[in-house]
Amino acid sequence: MQEIVSRVLEAEQQAEAIVREAGSKAAQIRQEAEAEAERALGQAREQAQDLARQALEEARGQAARERRQAEEEAERHRERFLAERREAIEAAAEAVALLLVTPEHARTSGGPSGSALPGGGVRQGPSAESAPAGT
């Protein structure tokens, strides 16, 4: 009977040792799995940052291209606008220059050479100045 009890105690001790060893191995495996998961998360973060950085660079490039296109379109529109209205702009500039270099008395009285205003018109006193535009 003593021998049976000894064997049972010995078997219990061996079982406890096996359980302790299994627990130790489980803890080690758990630590390794956590470390691997942490490495995988770190790599995923780096990849996400790289992707975000690439997306940002692409968006900046696209924005720069769109801005250049808009500037080019605005420049073409400006050139077309000026070309279509060049004669009117030049005529207005000449009229303004003429008004600037013509003395006031020559503009209102017609002066010695006749009309000093573009289109041959002569202003006559205050009534011409107070008349509505286009008359």
Judgement on whether residues 12 and 75 belong to the same structural domain of the protein? yes
Domain that holds residue 113: 86-119
Mean pLDDT across 58-71: 97
User: How far apart are the C-alpha atoms of 98 and 117, rounded to whole Å?
Assistant: 8
DSSP conformation class of 124: -
Same-domain pairing of 33 and 76: yes
Whole-model pTM: value is: 0.45
Looking at the fold, whether 7 and 57 belong to one and the same domain comes out as yes
State the total domains in the chain: 2
Q: Are residues 17 and 72 in the same domain?
A: yes
Decide if 18 is inside a domain.
yes
Instruction: Convert the pLDDT of each residue in 5-19 to its tens digit.
Output: 898 999 999 999 999
Tell me: the pLDDT tens digits for 112-124?
554 444 555 444 4
Tens of pLDDT, residue by residue over 80-123, are: 999 999 999 999 999 999 988 888 877 775 555 544 445 554 44
